[in-house]
Amino acid sequence: MPKLYYNPDKGLRQISGDGVDLTHSDGNGTVAYRKKVVDATSSDVTLISSDSGAFVFMSASADTRTVKLPTAAAAGEGWEVSCYVAATGSNYVISGANGELQGHWLHGTRDTTVAYAPIKNANAIGWGSLNYSASHAPALGDRVDIHSDGTNMYVWVLARGSGSTFNNNETLTDLG
């Protein structure tokens, strides 16, 4: 089987050998790979199936910033995005549909302990001063990874801020 090789001048080529070589793709000996970015820093966003693989950067001033997901069926199997908090002092909501959000929330409360909450059949997850005082702001770099199997949206949240809630009133359980 021939080797797949990328040359910035000639594009994707087959050469003798085997495997894949992308080491010269940006002219500096490294792979030039970037993901799509969806900007949720100035307004709410509604994601669609073609946003799969994107990074979503969220920030807001005092308002709530909402990232609306497509239904799992519309997104399709294999759809995924990663959302990041890009500004503190804001409220964030990841909004799904039909109780499709399933997953796990790990949370560094007060920067000293780790807490856990399941996400089960939720329509939305949120954090910030939603149902909390303003002192419970999200932290820069809080991350939400979302994957679809065409039936559900599987959510993995890693957060450092100290305040979170789910629409089905799950609570964070201190892990020690």
Q: What is 138-159 written as a DSSP string?
A: --TT-EEEEEEESS-EEEEEEE
Q: Please state, in angstroms and rounded to a whole number, the distance separating the CA atoms of residues 79 and 42.
A: 24
Band the pLDDT of 22: cuts 50, 70, 90: low
Report the range out of 18-27, 37-46, 73-82, 136-145 with the highest average pLDDT.
73-82
Whether this model's pTM surpasses 0.75: no
Q: What is the mean pLDDT of residues 26-35?
A: 57
Q: Are 101 and 124 in contact (CB under 8 A)?
A: yes
115 vs 164, which has greater pLDDT? 115
Please provide the average confidence, as pLDDT, over all residues in the chain: 76
| Strand order from edge to edge, sheet including 143-149 | 37-40, 55-58, 77-85, 143-149, 153-159, 101-109, 113-122, 173-174
- Residue 75, pLDDT > 90, answer yes
Instruction: Specify which residues 81 forms β-bridges with.
Output: 146
- Show the tokens assigned to 28: 């500096």
Q: Where are the alpha helices (DSSP H) in the chain?
A: 72-75
pLDDT the model gives residue 129: 47
pLDDT the model gives residue 118: 82
- Residue 175, pLDDT > 50, answer no
Interval 77-136: pLDDT, tens: 999 999 988 877 667 888 898 889 999 888 776 556 777 778 888 888 876 644 333 334
- Residue 171, pLDDT > 70, answer no
Those residues whose C-beta lies under 8 Å from the C-beta of residue 160, and which sit 6 or more positions away, are 107, 108, 111, 139, 141, 142
φ, ψ for residue 128, nearest 5 deg: 115, -145
Q: What is the mean pLDDT of residues 37-57?
A: 90
- Residue 29, pLDDT > 70, answer no
Q: What is the mean pLDDT of residues 54-67?
A: 80
Domain extent listing, the chain: 1-33, 34-174
pLDDT the model gives residue 82: 94
Q: Please state, in angstroms and rounded to a whole number, the distance separating the CA atoms of residues 38 and 55.
A: 6
φ, ψ for residue 32, nearest 5 deg: -90, 95
**Cα-Cα-Cα-Cα dihedral sign, residues 148, 43, 94, 146:** positive
